Amino acid sequence: MEGIAGIKKSIIARLEAIENTSIDKNLLVSAEIIEEICDITEELGKEVAVFIDRKGDVAGVSIGDEDTVALKDFDKRRGTESLSTVRCIHTHPNGNGMLSDVDLSALKKMRLDAMASIGVKEGKMTHAFVAFLNADETSELRPVAVGPYNMSKLLKIDIQMVIQDAESSLRQNKRTGKAVESVIERAVLVGIESEEDLDELSELLKTAGGVEISRLVQSRDKKDTAFFIGKGKLKELTLLVQSVNANLVVFDEELSGAQTRNLEEAIGVKVIDRTQLILDIFAQRAKSRDGKLQVELAQMKYMLPRLIGLGAQMSRTGGGIGTRGPGEKKLEIDRRRIRDRIHDLTNEIKEIKKQRELHRENRINNTVFQVCLVGYTNAGKSTLLNSLANADIYAEDQLFATLDPTTRKVVLQGGKEVLVTDTVGFIRKLPHDLIDAFKSTLEEVLYADLLIHVVDRSNDEYEVQMKTVLEVLAELGAENKTIVTAFNKTDKVLDLSEDERAGGSSCDAVYISAKNRIGLEALLDKMEAHASQHAKTVELLIPYTLGNLLSLVHEQADSVLNEDYLPEGVFIKAVVQNRVLGKVAEYQIKQ
């Protein structure tokens, strides 16, 4: 029995008596039950819901507040072509028996055999409406409402006939291969700050393949240990999920395993948090072996402390947002095996890290100037690299379109070649497990000579996003790197000056449109200026016996200014990078 807290014992006894009642299985409801729930509704001023199964036995009773009742899910259906085998009859204490949006949504979401609402005034039934489910020609399950009915007409409904007709339409759609329910996950977003903060969560959901249909925000300093949100807000969320027919709830904050379990039991739909959503996107985006291993490691680290609390979530087999990726097949393994898997993954990633470090050493030995693109996710880094290098790297207007670092050669205005690397985008509240797992990837920024911080200038929150990127760079130990800020997507901004719109630059900032190739010359000039700062003009005297060293200078010098063949060796005046200078310092002519 639901919602009996604070109810008088005499009323509880009457409700228990209803729970022990059986009626003719062909009746929607009996006159005795109608009279009793109307009388209790008048006395309490609350809704009363009675659930009856196909045998005619009362399966449960619930009490709601003044306006609504949270309808319990009694789903016992045997397959996709079946209904839940339970019907719901409930009261409306305001005298209006019209079915509400919440009623119709609950009917569809829980696939009830039928939903009846009874208006109550002065303890008597005023009229009633009844709704049933039917699959139309577009394969969509739709409620069919009828009424108003008086008591006499209500009791003449043959519920078994109604159920047969409804399930017949479901079976017909299955035979013709039509899907009755959409596979798209319809989500309610929940935050504890402001509604604007949920905009990014909505974009993440869209990237993962879900659709936002509503959102709920609660402003509170202290998080509830059991449900994260307060009990009043939890009731509001439960009713909202029913009213909009949602099948997913996404929290903008990280939940514990116990909180996830408690919320799912209370709301009746799958619940995930921001971290799971981001992990899901990474699982979809990871293409390389390195990326897949790093995502799985992050998933395992996320799961480990939540094994006890996840409860029913651990046995999910239906998939969907929050359950995808390399780690999904391991959701049921125990804590010891997860620790073993984390150990194995960590060792595999260490081996890949060694290989990556060898590649970096080769690039360093080649003394090529290293540039790294960093920035908030979807700032346009991949598009910029495509424009600079005339490449065809995957670039879409979506979050985390690129996970694996990609390096391309870029020719500067003066002809000098540099290597530019695109990295994974950062985001607000980036999960620490992901930062740890992707450290070998993110460490590209530590070995770069110059960082290009790409900023989506068209985003209203661009300053907050810039701060987030700088915080992540500091966490990686790259806060002291030389940074050029490239304000991107200026073609979408209305309040830029003409100079900025044309790609004008000031200090170490440039205004560009990577997609339209605006301002790229200014950015290339900045890169060339910084590359020059890493070079020195030196005079060398190289013995004739060291022809390989002479070749090295010719190959890796930015430019050879003068060359003369003297009796004691070859005199060369050249502009070289600091890395090259270390290799020929022994033969430098002291000034």
pLDDT the model gives residue 17: 93
Q: Exposed, middle or buried by CB within 10 Å (0-12, 13-18, 19+), for 60?
A: middle
CATH 3.30.70 fits 535-587, yes or no: yes
pLDDT the model gives residue 403: 63
Q: What is the mean pLDDT of the chain?
A: 80
pLDDT the model gives residue 89: 94
The conformation of residue 444, written as its DSSP 8-state character, comes to: G
pLDDT the model gives residue 307: 64
Give the separation between CA 276 and CA 371, rounded to whole angstroms.
Answer: 32
Nearest to 72 by CA among 81, 61, 83, 82: 61
Give the separation between CA 368 and CA 349, rounded to whole angstroms.
Answer: 26
Q: Which tens digit of pLDDT belongs to each residue from 463-473?
A: 989 998 898 88
Return the ∠ at Cα 420 (arms to 414 and 424), rounded to 5°: 155
Nearest to 88 by CA among 56, 64, 113, 65: 113
| 312 has a pLDDT exceeding 60 | no
Q: Which tens digit of pLDDT belongs to each residue from 386-438?
A: 899 887 765 566 666 566 678 888 888 777 788 898 887 888 877 776 776 66
Q: Which of 111-125, 364-378, 456-470, 479-493 is predicted with the least confidence, judged by mean pLDDT?
A: 364-378
Q: What is the band of 125 on the pLDDT scale with cuts at 50, 70, 90?
A: very high
pLDDT the model gives residue 52: 94
Q: Which of 180-184, 388-392, 515-519 is predicted with the least confidence, judged by mean pLDDT?
A: 180-184
Averaged pLDDT for residues 439-453: 79
| 3 has a pLDDT exceeding 80 | no
Q: What is the band of 384 on the pLDDT scale with cuts at 50, 70, 90?
A: very high
User: Which residues of the chain does CATH 3.40.50.11060 include?
Assistant: 182-353
Q: Which tens digit of pLDDT belongs to each residue from 472-515?
A: 888 888 888 889 999 999 888 877 766 666 655 556 889 999 99
- Bridge partners, 121 (sequence order): 124
pLDDT the model gives residue 316: 47
What the block records as the tokens of 315 is: 């046995």
pLDDT the model gives residue 367: 60
pLDDT the model gives residue 116: 93
- The residue type found at 541 is L
Q: What is the band of 361 on the pLDDT scale with cuts at 50, 70, 90?
A: low
Q: What is the band of 145 on the pLDDT scale with cuts at 50, 70, 90?
A: confident
The conformation of residue 182, written as its DSSP 8-state character, comes to: -
User: Which residues of the chain does CATH 3.40.50.300 include?
Assistant: 368-532
pLDDT the model gives residue 306: 74
| 96 has a pLDDT exceeding 80 | yes
- The residue type found at 50 is V
Q: Quote the CATH superfamily of domain 182-353.
A: GTPase HflX, N-terminal domain (3.40.50.11060)
Averaged pLDDT for residues 317-343: 62
The conformation of residue 570, written as its DSSP 8-state character, comes to: E
CATH 3.40.50.300 fits 368-532, yes or no: yes
Q: What is the band of 322 on the pLDDT scale with cuts at 50, 70, 90?
A: low
| R_g over Cα of the chain | 33
In percent, how much of the chain has pLDDT > 70?
80
| 35 has a pLDDT exceeding 90 | yes
Q: What is the band of 315 on the pLDDT scale with cuts at 50, 70, 90?
A: very low
pLDDT the model gives residue 178: 46
Q: Is the pTM of this model over 0.85?
A: no
Averaged pLDDT for residues 97-119: 86
Q: Which tens digit of pLDDT belongs to each residue from 270-304?
A: 899 998 898 888 887 777 777 788 888 888 888 77
In percent, how much of the chain has pLDDT > 90?
20
pLDDT the model gives residue 175: 52
pLDDT the model gives residue 473: 87
Under 8 Å between Cβ of 321 and 185: yes
Q: Which of 178-182, 183-187, 375-379, 566-570 is predicted with the least confidence, judged by mean pLDDT?
A: 178-182
Averaged pLDDT for residues 447-470: 90
Cite the DSSP H helix spans in 191-327. Answer: 198-208, 231-244, 257-267, 274-285, 289-303, 307-310
pLDDT the model gives residue 271: 92
